[in-house]
Structure 1
Amino acid sequence: MSLTLLIEQILNGLQFGVMLFLMAAGLTLIFGVMGLINLAHGSLFMVGAFACASVAAWTGSFWIGLAASLAAAAAAGAVIELLVIRRLYDRDHLDQVLATFALILIFSEGTRWLFGSFPLYLDIPPLLSGAVSLPGGSSYPIYRLAVIGVGIAVAVGLSLLISRTRLGMRIRAGESDREMIAALGVDITTLYTLVFALGAALAGLAGAMVGALQSVQVGMGEPVLILAFVVIVIGGIGSIRGALFGSILVGLTETLGRVLLPHGLGLFMEPSAAASIGAAIASMLIYILMALILAFRPQGLFAANG
């Protein structure tokens, strides 16, 4: 394998990882603060993608569509928290799973009713449509580098929010003892709505950014949701730092495994067999990684209360 291809795949892994971070950060906040298993988080990812694609097509501006994705996902998150999720905090996890799974079906059918069954497509904005040169002469899309930059900026912003602001102090207190902060006069219901809307907005941002790299279609959030759960288990539930490191670890493992394993197996196997076996093993790598981390650190790499 050439150095150029290796650098390109590392960048692809980072881009995939920071996209997962945008999903996992909101999911780990919601689970860490509220103790809620939210299977509908992937639907908010889909809402952001559809909002961005439809508004961008209507206005001709990707940036207006991006703002619309944040607003639509945050609004959808706040509404479902007020109408549905608020009734689930004191219920067991099975009730939460069933209720949020029902929300997946409602969002999917509602989106299909509004936009139809055909996928939408989102163009990369002209400002980010070029490419930069990599060592060895190949090029890499600027848009994918921008996705990496957005993920890093969001990680820094969330870290500052959690560690330096009054809202962050309340979020951290809510993770430790929600009954105590409620007794001290903090409006816990408003805090929960804000946290849920923030997590939904991050999922919507991820959907909008990914929408320019693939088609925007019904059900696009569910595969990403599974990986986001893997990320927060690896990183540590409730930990933003864990979500970032876990996302990058999963992104690099997934991307490099699909490239390196077939090449490595091809050294002593037939190319066709090496490709099929390598692809099969690569699809299991992140789950093997999760099992190994759980075996040695059941709380994850960076437990929120560790």
Structure 2
Amino acid sequence: MTSQPPPPTPPPAEPPAHPGPEAVPTCFRHPDRETYVRCQRCERPICPDCMRDAAVGHQCVECVREGNRAVRPAQAVFGGAAVAAPRVTWTLLVINVLAYAAEFVQPAQVLRQFEMWSFGVYQGEWWRLITSAFLHAPPPSLWHIVFNMWALYAIGPELERRLGSVRFATLYLLAALGGSVGIYLFGQEAVGASGAIYGLFGALFVVARRLGYDARGVLWLIGINVVLTFVVANISWQGHLGGLVTGTLVAAAFAYAPSRNRTVVQFGAAAAILLVLVLLVMLLPPTAYPGLPAITG
């Protein structure tokens, strides 16, 4: 019986090769950082500093930026940037309160220089047409400013979100001017934001109708306040009605402007209303002072 030769000895195992640098994925923006996470859109490796949360997984900074370019910015219902916080409303509230605080310090001087006075406007003191809309019945009376600021707080934010901040500010200031022009033409002197507030009432009615909401509640609100205007003493019906008419017209221009060239139509109409108000003051004398010439000097 012959013996079998022993089996050949296997060659020694070679040590595993160390992976080269190219085998370890690194962030495409930071090559010195290893990462095994890839962008869900471009599939490039990204490190934690370059990751941005997405609906599924993560995306890189470049893909997020590119995606934002393709997304149209949110808009208010009637144009303009969407309003997250009604900053114009809060600003108007602050200005009115600060002006009232100034009346506590020097009520006579503040009112004498800045209240709405028809003859003063006729003589060229045009600033009264706007400054008077930020003043109220002097201290210790509080009901005037409390009512107006409560109304601004209650309906201002909703209108600002619907119209956008710029359009809302335009509406408010034009309604305030319209109230002052009403006082100029048919009254003598007054103070208060009531013209602007009544303009917001009219705008709220227009916006509700345009959006298909039930506007009967707003109509009742306007009706009750108009009745109070003629029933309660020491209320300027000229300022209330002037602001109501102006605010309603401005809101109608904003709400019913065609989608094509909407911004041009809206602000063109606002400019036209402003021009009419200015011309009324320039070409007509206040009726409370008979005998004045038809055109101011």
Give the TM-score category using the shorter length.
Answer: 0.3 to 0.5
Please give the TM-score of this superposition, normalised by the length of structure 1: 0.32
Higher helix proportion, which one?
A: 1
**Higher relative contact order structure (alpha carbons within 8 Å, sequence separation ≥ 6):** 1
Which has more radius of gyration? Answer: 2
Please give the TM-score of this superposition, normalised by the length of structure 2: 0.33
